[in-house]
Amino acid sequence: MTMQAVILQNGGLELAEVPIPVPGPGEVLVRTLANGICGSDLHCVTHSHELAAGVRAVTGGDLLDPDRPVVLGHEFCAEVVRNGPGTEGTFAPGTRVVSPPMLARPVPVNLGFGGVEAPGGYAEYMVLTEALLMPVPDGLTSEVASLTEPLAVALHAVNRGALGDDDVPIVIGCGPIGLAVISVLKMRGIGPVIAADFSPARRALAAELGADIVVDPREHSPYDSWHEVAAVDDPARYGRQTALFPTLPFRPSVVFECVGVPGVIQQVLAGAPACSRVVVAGLCMAEDRFLPTFGVLKEIDLVFSLYYTVEEFAQTLAHLAAGELRAEPLITSQVGLDGVVDACRGLSDPEKDAKVLIVPAR
C-alpha cells in the first residue's frame, strides 16, 4: 500500500508515492487531517545540511539525514486508523489526536525530520507513539488543533520570559511565532502588548490577536512606545535598577525576539530598556554577532527558548479547547499536498500568508 507525501530531497520538495508507514511496538497508524507549514520547515528546505550539522555539534545527535528523503511536518492533527503491536488500544479508530512530534523509540525520531518510514505531516498517513497521544476535544476543529504545537512553542517562550503582572512586553517580529506569543500574552492578561513588524499584513494580524500598540519600525521605535506606556509615578512599580541606571520610573520590560535573522539580537540589545529580559524565540540558522557590552552595561538578561515540555503541550491544547487562546486568525490559507510546493514559495512574501495548513484530503 502506498500514499502521497511531499518529500524533501536534493534541496527541493516534490510530491511522491511512498509506502504507508508500519507502526512499531506501542505505535498507532494515523491519517493526517491538518498540518501547519512551519518556518523551520522552510529553513530545512534551504539549509538542511547546516541544520543537521548544527544540531550534531550542539547535541551530539542527529536530527535528520539530509542525504536521504525527508518527510517534513511536525504541527499536526490526525485521526487514529489502527493500533499497532503492543498498544493498549486507548484510542479507538476515528479518534482525533495531537501529539508532541516525537516517536519514543530506542533511538527517538523527531517527526517532521525523519525519512519516509517515519513521515511527518506532509503525508497522508503517519505513525505516532500511543503514550504521547492527546485526544482532541469535541468542538475544537482539526485545523485549530494542529496549531497546538506552534502555540506550545509560544507558551514555552512566554514561560521562559517569567513575566510578572506589571511587565510590559515587546514582540519584535509578527510572523507565526510572534503572533502566537501575542495570543499567549493576551490570554494571560499581560500588557499592554507592543508589537513591531515591517509587514502591514502581519501588523494587522497582530492587532487582531490583541496587540495593544502595533508599530512599523521604519516609522516609530517600539522602544519609544514602551517608554510612553510603561512610565509610572509609583516607585513600587518600578522595574529593576542598577548603578548605571539608578532612576528608571518605568514598569519592567520583556522583549521577545521572534525574527531569527542575523543582526536582530544586537538591534534588540541596543534598543531594549536597561534591565530588560530578552527572550530569543526566533530560530536563526546563520552565524550571528552581537556586542556583549550592550547587554553587560544594561544588565540585560538574555534567554533562549526552543520547543516545550509535554505538560506545556497539554496545557496549550486545553487552552485552545476552552476558547481561552485565540488561534484562528493565524490560519490564512489551506492547501492539499499538491499545493505544498507553491505554498512554501509563497511564504517568502509576508503579505500573502501567516500560517498555511496542509489538508491532505483537499
- Tell me, yes or no, whether 320 lies in a domain: no
pLDDT surpasses 90 at 50: no
Kindly give the interhelix angle for 148-161 and 310-321, rounded to the nearest 10 degrees: 110
Q: What are phi and psi of 333, to 5 degrees?
A: -155, 155
| Radius of gyration in angstroms for the set of CA atoms belonging to the chain, rounded to a whole number | 21
CA–CA separation, 116 vs 135, rounded Å?
A: 25
From CA 26, how far away is CA 47, in angstroms rounded?
33
Looking at the structure, tell me whether residues 15 and 108 fall in a common domain: yes
The C-alpha atoms of residue 183 and residue 331 are separated, in whole angstroms, by 13
38 shares its domain with 173: no
Question: Is residue 20 one of the residues assigned to a domain?
Answer: yes
Is 225 among the domain residues? yes
Q: Does 166 share its domain with 235?
A: yes
The pTM (predicted TM-score) of the whole model is 0.95
Domain containing residue 206: 151-304
**Pairing relationship of beta strands 102-103 and 109-110 according to DSSP bridges:** antiparallel
What pLDDT is recorded for position 187?
97
DSSP per position, 212-280: SEEE-TTTS-HHHHHHHHHB-S-GGG-----SSS----B--EEEEE----TTHHHHHHHHSPTT-EEEE
Task: Give 2: exposed, middle or buried? Use CB within 10 Å, 0-12, 13-18, 19+.
Answer: exposed
CATH of the domain at 202: 3.40.50.720
Please check whether residues 249 and 354 belong to one and the same domain.
Answer: no
Name which of 131, 155, 151 is nearest 26 in CA terms: 131
- In this structure, are 126 and 243 located in the same domain? no
Residue 354 lies in a domain: yes
- pLDDT tens for residues 197-236? 999 999 999 999 999 999 999 999 999 999 999 999 999 9
| In-domain check, residue 316 | no
Residue 81 shares a structural domain with residue 206: no
Segment 112-152, tens digit of pLDDT: 999 999 999 999 999 999 999 999 999 999 999 999 999 99
Distance CA 207, CA 48 (A): 34
Q: Residues 285-326: pLDDT tens digits?
A: 788 999 999 999 999 999 999 999 999 999 999 999 999 999
Is residue 318 in some structural domain? no
Q: Are residues 133 and 48 in the same domain?
A: yes
Percent of the chain topping pLDDT 90: 83
CA angle centred on 265, ends 248 and 181, rounded to 5° = 80
What's the mean pLDDT in 36-53? 83
Residue for cell digits 526566533?
282
**Domain-located, residue 198:** yes
Q: Which residues of 241-267 are buried (b: 16+ CB within 10 A; e: fewer)?
A: beeeeeebebbbbbbbbbbbeeebbeb
Do residues 222 and 137 lie in contact, with contact meaning Cβ atoms separated by under 8 Å? no
Grid cell 520570559 in the structure block, residue: 161
User: What's the confidence (pLDDT) of residue 28?
Assistant: 98
Evaluate whether residue 53 is within a structural domain: yes
pLDDT higher than 90, residue 42: no
Q: Where are the beta strands (DSSP E) in the chain?
A: 2-9, 12-19, 27-36, 76-83, 96-98, 102-103, 109-110, 125-129, 134-135, 168-172, 194-196, 213-215, 253-257, 277-280, 301-304, 331-335, 355-358
- Report, as an integer, the average pLDDT of 325-336: 96
Same domain, 11 and 97: yes
Question: What confidence category does residue 52 fall into, taking pLDDT thresholds of 50, 70 and 90?
Answer: confident
- How many domains are there within the chain? 2
- Provide the 3-class DSSP secondary structure of residue 307: coil
- Confidence band, pLDDT 50/70/90 cuts, at residue 329: very high
Report the alpha-carbon distance of residue 166 to residue 319 in Å, rounded.
Answer: 23
Question: Within its chain, how far is the Cα of 236 from the centroid?
Answer: 35
Residues 121 and 178 in one domain: no
Q: What is the rounded distance in angstroms from the CA atom of residue 241 to the CA atom of residue 251?
A: 11
Together in a domain, 131 and 212 = no
6, pLDDT greater than 90: yes
Distances (CA, A) of 178 to 65, 69, 285, 340: 29, 31, 17, 23
Q: pLDDT of 58-90, one tens digit each?
A: 888 777 788 899 999 999 999 999 999 999 999
Burial 291-302 (b: 16+ CB within 10 A, else e): eeebbeebebeb
Same domain for 58 and 198, yes or no, is no
Three cell numbers written together for 312: 506545556
Asked if 113 and 210 sit in the same domain, the reply is no
| pLDDT score of 7 more than 80 | yes
